[in-house]
């Protein structure tokens, strides 16, 4: 009888041990899944994914950043509901921007017409602003864009002369064009940052639309 009780106790103990081990395994797996999901969510920046003249709803459904539907029959604009980056998905002339806080997408007859944005989420130092500007220009150059006003509005450069121009009253400005399909105006200038009134800060502006400035001729 005693041996039978001991055997039953051992079986119960083994059963509980197995259940405890299984619980611990499931707990570890669930914890890993939660960490992975959280990391992925935090690392994937919301983005607006578009090309010009496409249906607004196509852009809205494709983008990971939330944005409201277009207003039928109106010429207006929409803004992402969170900070978001732009991913321009033309198969030949595509590019990406950093996260932007000011970001508007224009529409007409429920189709995308233009983009206006500042590809930053806070005023930047000149060094940091130039990193953004130079990266964008490098992307455009690699994707086949060209400077459409090379004499009056040449590419923005990180040189003493280029920095002096940016710090000037008018700041720096350049126009880039992709064939006869798209044109971009990129600007950079001083910005008065109320949070850091004693520090030099800069704002980048980017406008994307169908060409509106004629190509500069010699």
Measured between alpha carbons, how far apart are the two ends of the chain, in Å? Answer: 109
Q: Check whether 2 has a pLDDT greater than 70.
A: no
pLDDT of residue 82: 98
pLDDT of residue 170: 93
Cβ-based burial of 35 (10 A; exposed 0-12, middle 13-18, buried ≥19): exposed
CA atoms within 13 A on the CB side of 94: 10
The per-residue pLDDT for range 30-73, each reduced to its tens digit, is: 443 433 333 334 348 999 999 999 999 999 999 999 999 999 99
pLDDT of residue 31: 45
What tokens were used for 44? Answer: 């994937």
Q: Check whether 20 has a pLDDT greater than 60.
A: no
Record the pTM.
Answer: 0.79
pLDDT of residue 17: 56
Q: Check whether 5 has a pLDDT greater than 50.
A: no
The per-residue pLDDT for range 194-217, each reduced to its tens digit, is: 888 889 999 999 999 999 999 998
Determine the Cα–Cα distance for residues 78 and 127; give it in Å rounded to an integer: 31
The arithmetic mean of pLDDT across residues 80-109, rounded, is: 98
Q: Which residue has the higher pLDDT, 44 or 161?
A: 161
pLDDT of residue 15: 54
pLDDT of residue 132: 98
| Average pLDDT value over all residues in the chain | 87
pLDDT of residue 40: 35
Determine the Cα–Cα distance for residues 218 and 210; give it in Å rounded to an integer: 23
Determine the Cα–Cα distance for residues 106 and 199; give it in Å rounded to an integer: 34
Q: Which residues contact 25 (CB under 8 A, 6 or more apart)?
A: none
The per-residue pLDDT for range 99-158, each reduced to its tens digit, is: 999 999 999 999 999 999 999 999 999 999 999 999 999 999 999 999 999 999 999 999
pLDDT of residue 12: 52
Determine the Cα–Cα distance for residues 209 and 148; give it in Å rounded to an integer: 14
Give which of 204, 207, 210, 206 is closest to 189, Cα–Cα.
204
pLDDT of residue 197: 87
Is 204 strand, coil or helix?
A: strand
What tokens were used for 55? Answer: 């249906």
């Amino acid at each position: 009888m005693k041996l039978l009780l001991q055997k039953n106790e051992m079986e119960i103990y083994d059963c509980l041990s197995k259940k405890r081990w299984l619980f611990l395994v499931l707990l570890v797996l669930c914890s890993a899944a939660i960490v992975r999901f959280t990391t992925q969510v935090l690392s994937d920046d919301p983005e607006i994914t578009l090309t010009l003249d496409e249906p607004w709803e196509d852009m809205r459904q494709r983008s990971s950043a939330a944005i409201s539907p277009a207003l039928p029959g109106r010429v207006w604009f929409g803004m992402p509901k969170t900070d978001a980056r732009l991913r321009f998905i033309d198969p030949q002339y595509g590019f990406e921007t950093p996260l932007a806080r000011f970001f508007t997408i224009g529409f007409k007859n429920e189709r995308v017409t233009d983009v206006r944005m500042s590809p930053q989420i806070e005023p930047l130092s000149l060094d940091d602003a130039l990193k953004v500007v130079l990266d964008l220009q490098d992307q455009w150059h690699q994707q086949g864009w060209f400077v459409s006003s090379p004499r009056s509005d040449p590419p923005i450069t990180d040189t003493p002369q280029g920095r002096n121009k940016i710090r000037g009253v008018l700041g720096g400005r350049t126009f880039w064009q992709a064939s006869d399909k798209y044109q971009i105006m990129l600007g950079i200038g001083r910005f008065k940052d109320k949070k850091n009134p004693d520090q030099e800060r800069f704002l980048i502006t980017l406008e994307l639309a169908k060409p509106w400035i004629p190509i500069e001729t010699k």
